[in-house]
Amino acid sequence: MARPKAGDIVAVEWIDAWCDEQETREHDWKDSCVVTTYGVLRRNGDVVTVVSEPFKDGVGRSTTHIPRPLVRRVRRLEEA
């Protein structure tokens, strides 16, 4: 299967980073949190960028930028 490209509608599975002031000792630490973000792929390189609300002029909102080392998988979604 070809690598998803800019403009494709994708699902990106990635490991979220978080801050929790209650986790003060090692035995308090939680396991990693895997997140899935859906939207239009804008960039698929060292940073993966997904826009959930794209406008026709190329601008978008609800943009998520994910550093590549945190990405587990980028998969293209089939069109209906």
User: Which range marks the domain in which residue 12 is found?
Assistant: 1-17+32-80
pTM of structure: 0.81
The identity of residue 46, as a single letter, is D
* Confidence (pLDDT) at 71: 97
Query: How many domains does the chain fold into?
Result: 1
Is position 65 within any domain? yes
Q: What is the mean pLDDT of the chain?
A: 88
Is position 22 within any domain? no
Which CATH number belongs to the domain containing residue 36 in this structure?
Answer: 2.30.30.520
CA 15 to chain centre: 9
3, 64, 32, 67: CA torsion to nearest 10? 60
Encode pLDDT of 11-38 as tens digits.
999 999 888 888 888 887 777 889 999 9
* DSSP, res 68: G
pLDDT class of 59 with cuts at 50, 70, 90? confident
Is position 23 within any domain? no
Is position 6 within any domain? yes
Phi-psi label, residue 26: left if phi above 0, alpha if psi -120 to 50, beta otherwise? alpha
**Residue 11 contacts residue 17 (beta carbons within 8 Å):** no
